[in-house]
Amino acid sequence: MSDRNTHAPFRFHNLDELHAAIQELGLDISVQDDVSCLIQPVQLGGRTIPNAMAVQPMEGCDGEADGSPGELTYRRYRRFGAGGAGLIWFEACAVVESGRANPRQLWLHEGNKGSFALMLEECLSAARESMGAGHRPFNVLQLTHSGRYSKPGDTFVPVIAYHDPLLDQTRSVSPDQPPISDDELKRLEDAFVKSARLAFEVGFDAVDVKACHRYLNNELLSAHTRPGEFGGSYENRTRFLKECVGRIRQEFGADRVTTRMNIFDGHPYPYGWGMDAVNPNAPDLTEPKRLIRELHEGGMGLMNLTMGNPYFTPHINRPYDKPITGGNRPNEHPLVGEERLVSLTRQAREGLLGLAVIGSGYSWLRHLWPYVAAAEISRGGIQMVGMGRQAFAYPGFAKEIMETGRLDPKHTCISCSCCSQIMRQGGTAGCVPFDAEVYGPVYRG
Ligand SMILES: Cc1cc2nc3c(=O)[nH]c(=O)nc-3n(C[C@H](O)[C@H](O)[C@H](O)COP(=O)(O)O)c2cc1C
């Protein structure tokens, strides 16, 4: 007997077993046998995306000291390209050195744009070779400032939007550290625009002004307690994201800017975004929905929706069987986490069927995710599904679904958290069980 408040590992052999568990737990998750919608092209403005499957941004922490891709980064994007996904959302790339989350995070600047062009070209040529000359994935580069999670060198150098009593203690933020000033934020807007320009010179189709997972731009969305132009009211808290997006849109066109945005931080009000003022741990999507609608009305046609904080509430961000060392198994069944992801995303897109939304967090469902994703597409909750850990474990997932109509149970992530564990240890992240030759030794240290 399963119950919602007890964690349980994935144990379903087939769709019937998954469906029975969903019923038993009383969850609003749909499944459907027919996954053909995943392989249909998706229209985005004037562009055709070859299918409805995306690779989510997945950092490997394997760039060079100057921010260029390293050998493993090139390898990752060749594999992602060959895997056949219709859209590849390239991983977090810092707009300034001080905003890197680790000293090996990508960082794009004038001095290394040639290496980014090479990475993109290698990805595209691997896609052509594997899928045929007519297949060209849509490529988005994620632009970021890591905020309180910045670690550009050997030590953490947090940049905070405001003091958060829960998160300050996790990175030893001193009570007298000043939050980033309004003037510094305005200079940072210039850095986002400059990085966008470089990304377009390199050949990316679009850039993402990253606003998720409690990095700087996401933290600003919840800056209720911050004074000045970027805190307090809804207008002020959303100002930084809107100004970055607006300036990129004005200079390069509305179809070239998107955002990966949290719709629910899972972090109590008033310190969380998408949280209820009366019941501080419950979701309230009023503001995220308003922001999504305003960005869409301003011309944004694509958004990637996600939630949680991978450092603080990882189960909200990515349901798992096993936590990282020292992490917790939450008091919830991972299917409850899956329901939160699909149902809040569905609510966030409600009434905006012209907006292409990419859904996140499906990898725990192993070989059964295509049936849940197809059902969500049919219900109008999402238009595309994005795969994170699945892409690390078996980058060829989209090609396999296109060729066989299913995903082999041996070709899926087992949510063991080893990739996240490596990241926390400061190593180069990848799939330990299925890419063992490369990442086994990294994991073992
Ligand atoms: C090792 C690792 C690296 C990640 N890197 C990024 C990143 O660069 N940018 C981002 O927005 N999310 C990142 N994520 C989050 C994933 O994109 C995704 O939202 C999460 O893993 C849940 O999706 P999944 O169930 O398909 O794995 C990362 C996750 C992991 C485990």
pLDDT of 445: 84
Using CA atoms, how far apart are residues 156 and 167, in angstroms rounded to an integer? Answer: 14
pLDDT of 363: 98
pLDDT of 139: 98
State whether the beta carbon of 144 lies less than 6 angstroms from ligand 1.
Answer: no
Using CA atoms, how far apart are residues 147 and 99, in angstroms rounded to an integer? Answer: 6
DSSP annotation of 178:
P
User: Is 384 among the domain residues?
Assistant: yes
Nearest ligand 1 atom, CA 306: 19
Nearest ligand 1 atom, CA 389: 27
User: Is 3 among the domain residues?
Assistant: no
Residue 2 has pLDDT above 90, yes or no: no
Q: What percent of the chain has pLDDT over 70?
A: 100
State whether the beta carbon of 321 lies less than 6 angstroms from ligand 1.
Answer: no
User: Is 160 among the domain residues?
Assistant: yes
Mean pLDDT of 378-405: 98
Residue whose Cα lies nearest atom 25 of ligand 1: it is 361
User: Is 328 among the domain residues?
Assistant: yes
DSSP state string for 219-230: HHHT-TT--STT
CATH of residue 315's domain is: 3.20.20.70
pLDDT of 140: 98
Residue 337 has pLDDT above 90, yes or no: yes
pLDDT of 172: 85
State whether the beta carbon of 261 lies less than 6 angstroms from ligand 1.
Answer: no
Which of 303, 363, 376, 306 lies closest to 35 in space, CA to CA? Answer: 376
User: Is 174 among the domain residues?
Assistant: yes
Nearest ligand 1 atom, CA 56: 17
Residue partners of 108: CB distance under 8 A and separation at least 6: 67, 93, 94, 95, 116, 141, 195, 198, 199, 202
User: Is 4 among the domain residues?
Assistant: no
Mean pLDDT of 347-366: 97
Pocket test for ligand 1, best of 53, 55, 59 (most atoms within 8 A of CB): 59
User: Is 8 among the domain residues?
Assistant: no
Distance 175 CA to ligand 1 centre (A): 30
Pocket test for ligand 1, best of 318, 322, 345 (most atoms within 8 A of CB): 318
Distance 310 CA to ligand 1 centre (A): 8
Q: Count of domains in the chain?
A: 1
Distance 236 CA to ligand 1 centre (A): 28
Q: Which domain holds residue 182?
A: 15-444
Whole-structure pTM over 0.75, yes or no? yes
Q: What is the pLDDT of residues 296-312, one digit of tens each?
A: 999 999 999 999 999 99
Residue 264 has pLDDT above 80, yes or no: yes
Confidence of residue 240 (pLDDT cuts 50, 70, 90): very high
417 close to 323: Cβ distance less than 8 angstroms: yes
Q: What is the pLDDT of residues 48-67, one digit of tens each?
A: 999 999 999 999 999 999 99
Q: What is the pLDDT of residues 192-224, one digit of tens each?
A: 999 999 999 999 999 999 999 999 999 999 999
User: Is 2 among the domain residues?
Assistant: no
